[in-house]
Amino acid sequence: MIGEVRRENFKLEFRSFDDVYSWKDMVFISMGDQAHGNRPNGNSTGGMITLAAGPSCLDGGVSPMTVLGWKTWKLRRRAIGSNDAEVQSILEAEDHNFRTRLLWSELHGAGGRRDSRTPREDLVSALEKQVKDVRGVLCTDSRGGYDAVERNESPLLGLGNMRSALQAFQLRDNLQRAGCMLRWLASDFDLADALTKKREEARQGLLKMLRTGFWSIKFDPSFTSAKKGKKLGKSTVDAVDKYVLKGRGCDDEVNGPGELHLLQRHPPAFGMASHRVRLGTLILVGLVLLQIAGFIGQEVARPWRDRIQEQKDEESSNPPDPVGALRALRRSLRNEEGSTKPEKKEKGAASDSFVIWPGES
């Protein structure tokens, strides 16, 4: 983990947006996510991230964004289900979005002078009216939490826990009074997923956003999950890469993941046509190099191949003689036995037994 943090070292950049002409054109996006029961004592973890973007992000396309704040924390109430934890996390994310929009409006004087306000005015209502001048978007990847807030009208909003239902009612009321939009995203679009999940693939989206400065909050009416979207070729990371490459002169005709990977590693400098010419040149050069390497390999291996062939020819011309080999073995054993034969002893001494080979006297 420490090595990964050192490798992925980023600096936050606060850039200007081309489609923002007034401070009221800014859009503040907050994403919330949870990890149910991932703590040793059974508690859950919540995570959220807040970004700033231009109004073009509301169309669902890839647009430039800037990270403003993030947070990961232990949920206050122990959740009995994933929807319960999701409601808690997005409720906290909505509050952070409200505070960000309130601060932005106060910096631009939307609240006016304090002494000019009506006495005994409800401060909460006045501030909620004030933040409506700035658009806010709350994003979640929980289908159950989204349906509970936006669609369900049952007494408990389709949730099994009374406390989570009360928080869902609170969230629904806050969104309506503060003018915030709730939007469902697939898990690979939700950047807060990187703040609660341990697996490496959950961090790929956040790393891509920090590297490029572009992201998307695309709402899918069919509620297609991230796994199905990847099978259909609708990965968010690939969409961001195509957008960045298009800004460098590429068109939308990216044929398959192989060409996309090549474009990611070697982005073209003068448009897609020059890239394809370069790609064809690289293929031709690669084929020529393969032929040259094969010819050199044959020349290097020729002496070894000739030596092996000579050995095979010698073996075929001189077949092995088992009888001659046996006679040679007997002669060698006889010579060894003769060299180690004991000396003759005098008469009357005890004689040792020894082997008499055929032909010996």
Q: Which among 94, 97, 91, 89 is positioned nearest to 73, based on CA atoms? A: 89
66 secondary structure, DSSP code: E
Say yes or no: 289 and 146 in one domain: no
Q: What is the pLDDT of residue 156?
A: 82
- List, for residues 121-150, the tens digit of each pLDDT value: 788 888 899 999 999 999 999 988 898 888
Least confident of 37-51, 112-126, 133-147, 258-272: 258-272
Q: Which among 19, 62, 29, 67 is positioned nearest to 183, based on CA atoms? A: 29
Look at residue 271 and tell me whether its pLDDT is greater than 70: no
pLDDT bracket for residue 114 (50, 70, 90): low
Higher pLDDT, 101 or 280: 101
Q: What is the pLDDT of residue 23?
A: 94
Strand, helix or coil at 197?
A: coil
Residue 74: beta bridge partners? 45
Say yes or no: 8 and 140 in one domain: yes
Span 324-328, average pLDDT: 74
Q: What is the pLDDT of residue 270?
A: 44
CB burial of residue 287 (10 Å; 0-12, 13-18, 19+)? exposed
Is 357 among the domain residues?
A: no
Say yes or no: 66 and 15 in one domain: yes
Instruction: State the chain's mean pLDDT as an integer.
Output: 80
Span 270-280, average pLDDT: 60
Is 324 among the domain residues?
A: no
DSSP 225-246: -HHHHHHTT--HHHHHHHHHHH
Is 146 among the domain residues?
A: yes
Q: For residues 173 and 181, is the Cβ–Cβ distance under 8 A?
A: no
Say yes or no: 151 and 21 in one domain: yes
Is 330 among the domain residues?
A: no
The distance from CA 360 to its chain's CA centroid, rounded to whole angstroms, is 87
Span 324-333, average pLDDT: 76
Q: Which among 43, 52, 59 is positioned nearest to 20, based on CA atoms? A: 52
**Dist CA 144 CA 82 (whole Å):** 9
Look at residue 184 and tell me whether its pLDDT is greater than 90: yes
Task: Count Cβ atoms below 10 Å from residue 267 Cβ, excluding itself.
Answer: 15
Say yes or no: 148 and 244 in one domain: no
- Please list, residue by residue across 137-147, b when 16 or more beta carbons sit within 10 angstroms of its beta carbon and e when fewer do: bbbbbbebbbb
Is 358 among the domain residues?
A: no
DSSP 116-168: GSPTT--HHHHHHHHHTTSEEEEEE--HHHHHHHHT--STTTT-S-HHHHHHH
Is 177 among the domain residues?
A: yes
Say yes or no: 132 and 78 in one domain: yes
Look at residue 268 and tell me whether its pLDDT is greater than 60: no
Look at residue 41 and tell me whether its pLDDT is greater than 80: yes
Q: Which among 255, 229, 231 is positioned nearest to 242, based on CA atoms? A: 255
Look at residue 349 and tell me whether its pLDDT is greater than 70: no
Say yes or no: 30 and 136 in one domain: yes
Q: What percent of the chain has pLDDT over 70?
A: 77
Among 5-19, 23-37, 142-156, top mean pLDDT goes to: 23-37
Q: What is the pLDDT of residue 318?
A: 67
Say yes or no: 286 and 247 in one domain: yes
- The one-letter amino acid code at 177 reads R
Say yes or no: 73 and 8 in one domain: yes
Is 13 among the domain residues?
A: yes
Domain encompassing residue 250: 235-316
Q: What is the pLDDT of residue 247?
A: 60
Q: Look up the CATH number of the domain holding residue 54.
A: 3.30.420.10
**Dist CA 142 CA 33 (whole Å):** 8
- List, for residues 144-178, the tens digit of each pLDDT value: 889 888 888 888 888 878 888 898 999 999 999 99
Higher pLDDT, 226 or 250: 226
Say yes or no: 176 and 219 in one domain: yes
Higher pLDDT, 130 or 342: 130
**Dist CA 103 CA 95 (whole Å):** 12
Task: Count Cβ atoms below 10 Å from residue 175 Cβ, excluding itself.
Answer: 20
Is 328 among the domain residues?
A: no
Say yes or no: 144 and 191 in one domain: yes
Tally of domains in the chain: 2
Say yes or no: 36 and 177 in one domain: yes
Task: Count Cβ atoms below 10 Å from residue 82 Cβ, excluding itself.
Answer: 16
Strand, helix or coil at 322?
A: helix
Look at residue 298 and tell me whether its pLDDT is greater than 90: no
Identify the domain boundary among 230, 256, 277: 230
